[in-house]
Amino acid sequence: MWKVTWRRFRRSRLAVAALIYVAAVTLIAAAAPLIAERGRLLPFDPNEVDFSSRFRPPDHLHRLGTDDLGRDVLARMIHGARVSLTVGFLATAISLVIGSLLGALAGYYRGVADWIVSRTIEVVLCFPFLFLVLGIVALFGPSLYTIMIALGLTSWTAEARYVRGEFLRIRELDFAYAARASGARDARIILRHLLPNALAPVLVSASFGVASAILTESALSFLGFGVPLPTPTWGSILLAAQQNIEYAWWLVVFPGVAIFLTVASFNIIGDRFRDALDPRAE
């Protein structure tokens, strides 16, 4: 199935380009300490202050200019990618684990378990997503771990609904009856036989979830509830540009473009992946 899915996926040049972009950004983010620190490929540290170079436009020395404290924007952008992708991937992993387990329990056992999980999903969906995350971050204090956990605890509902729907379908198939007839325990049936066959739509949702988590983290940083300073993030760079947009355009353009391209790439990958998994597709 995965070979067929990949063959269908790579027919879209836009999706392949988005995948290459995401892979490149992930590689740069992983290698950020080797690239953007003093004595490395870039001669500037992301938190190095130089008041003599405040609001310096892009030139041969500072490729993307400097901010209000004279810090190199390119170095901060590279380290900001590390933070944004870490939040995106780990928050999505948390939501996948919670959503998959709850959806599996609801779809397999049905009855009371299904009622409890379904009502819990409805309660979580009653609250606006961003305000719910803001409330959790404000309660426990802004930090990288708080943001990841808050995003993971508030974004699992989509995965739970997908897994629940798939379990309600595949639990009645022959291989599920065969596993029960062989005497396998419920935990083994759920984790080894049913869950692997229910993950395809969840992986599509995960791609959109990473994009949503990156966008939400940037919004929190822009609002001042993100990762505490001086840790650079794309949202905090935009926050620094808020009062200086008239004469420091590069503080808006470069992080804005980075957020747009990254979020759009994950959405394109998820959209194409969904089409590639469609059994009706040629």
Crossing angle of helices 129-140/200-223, nearest 10°?
A: 60
Smallest CA-to-CA distance from 157 within 111, 191, 197, 208 is with: 208
Query: What is the rounded distance in angstroms from the CA atom of residue 25 to the CA atom of residue 147?
Result: 21
Question: pLDDT at residue 19 above 70?
Answer: yes
Band of pLDDT at residue 4, cut at 50, 70 and 90:
confident
The three-point CA angle 135-231-206 to 5° equals 60
Which residue bears the tokens 């400097």? 66
Smallest CA-to-CA distance from 25 within 83, 93, 90 is with: 83
| Domains of the chain: residue spans and CATH | 2-26+70-245+257-277 (1.10.3720.10)
Structure tokens at 227: 């990762």
Q: What is the pTM of this model?
A: 0.86
Residue pLDDT, tens place only, 141-197 = 888 889 999 999 888 998 899 899 888 888 888 888 888 888 888 888 888 888 888
Q: Is 62 exposed, middle or buried (CB count within 10 Å of its CB: 0-12, 13-18, 19+)?
A: buried
Question: pLDDT at residue 280 above 70?
Answer: no
Given a contact cutoff of 8 angstroms between Cβ atoms, the answer to whether 227 and 143 are in contact is: yes
Structure tokens at 28: 């740069």
Residue pLDDT, tens place only, 37-78 = 766 677 778 888 888 878 888 888 888 888 878 888 888 899
Structure tokens at 217: 């983290």
Three-state SS at 241? helix
